[in-house]
Amino acid sequence: MGQKLVTVVIPIHLEEPSELEKVSLTQTLRVLNKFPITFLTKQGINTSWYEEFCKGKATIHFERFKWQGAFEFGKLMINHEFYRRMIGYEYILICHLDAFVFRDELERWCHLDYDYIGSVIYNPTWYGSTRTIKRWLGFTSPEYYSNGGFSLKKVESFYKITYKYRRYIFLWLWLRTARKQTFFDDIFIAERFPTLGDFVMPTLSNAARFGAAYEYWDERLLPFTTKDPESLPFGIHGWIQYHPEYWKPYFRELGYDV
C-alpha cells in the first residue's frame, strides 16, 4: 500500500484543551475533515475527551511519544524517529491548538512540492545579522523566519536530514543545554536545513500566502487584514497568545463565541 498524501498533526499536552483551543480544533475539523487527523500526544495522557469530541467529525488516531515541555517537543521536531513514524504520508501539516485554518488549501500546497513551508513570523526580533559563531557552524540568515506551529513538512526530506545529521543535531542541542539557552526548532530549521542538501522552501511572498505568525508588527504593514478575508493566508499560528482582539471580531463573524 502506497503513501497517503497528508495527515494533519495536532500536538496535545493536556487531557482537555482550553476554551479558545477548542475554537481552533473545531475549525480544523470543519475545514480539514477529509484528511486523517493525527493527534501527537505525550505518553500517559488520557485521550478520551478528544475521541469523544472528534466522533463523527473526522478520522483520527494517536501517536504517542515521550516528551515533556517545549524544549523536548522542539527536540522531537528534529528527531528522525518522529519522521520515521510518519513515513506513511508524503506530508504532514503541523497544526497546533493555537493555529486557525481559514480555508482548505492543503492539497494545493502539497502539490507545490516544497520540503517545508512555515508561517511567516512577523516579529523584528528574528531579523538581523547572524552571529559569528553561527556563521562558523554554517548558519545563515534566511529571507524570512517561519513558525512551525502551523507548517507543512515533506516527511521524506525531514527524515533524511534528521537521520543523516543526527550527530550534528545532538551536538547542537547539547551545546544549547549546556549554556542554558532557549532552543526553537523552527528557527534552527530555517537557518540550517537549506544548507544541508536539496531542501526547498518558498519565497517570502509565497510563504505569506500559506501562513502567518503575527507577533509584534505594525498592523498597517501586514500583507493581510481581517477586513478583506481573501487577503488572509491558508492559516495562522499564535492567535491566542498574540493579538487575540485583532482576530476575535472576524472569528465571531464565522460563528464562534469568543
Distance of CA 61 to the CA centre of its chain: 19
Where along the chain do its domains lie? 4-253
Cell numbers 549554556 correspond to 179
How far, in Å, are 66, 118, 120, 153 from residue 208 at the CA level? Answer: 33, 9, 6, 16
Question: What confidence tens digit (pLDDT) does each residue in 187-241 have?
Answer: 999 988 998 888 999 999 999 999 999 999 999 999 999 999 999 999 999 999 9
Mean pLDDT on 125-138: 59
DSSP per residue over 224-257, as a string? -BTTBGGGS-SEEE-TTTS-HHHHHHHHHHTT--
How far, in Å, are 54, 195, 196, 222 from residue 131 at the CA level? Answer: 46, 17, 19, 28
C-alpha span between 123 and 137 (Å, rounded): 25
Q: CATH number of the domain at 4-253, out of 3.30.70, 3.90.550, 3.40.1350, 3.90.1580?
A: 3.90.550
Question: What confidence tens digit (pLDDT) does each residue in 25-40 have?
Answer: 999 999 999 999 999 9
Specify the pLDDT at position 160: 96
How much is the mean pLDDT over the chain?
Answer: 92
Which secondary-structure segment (H or E) carries 152? strand 146-154
% of the chain residues with pLDDT over 70 = 95
Specify the pLDDT at position 126: 80
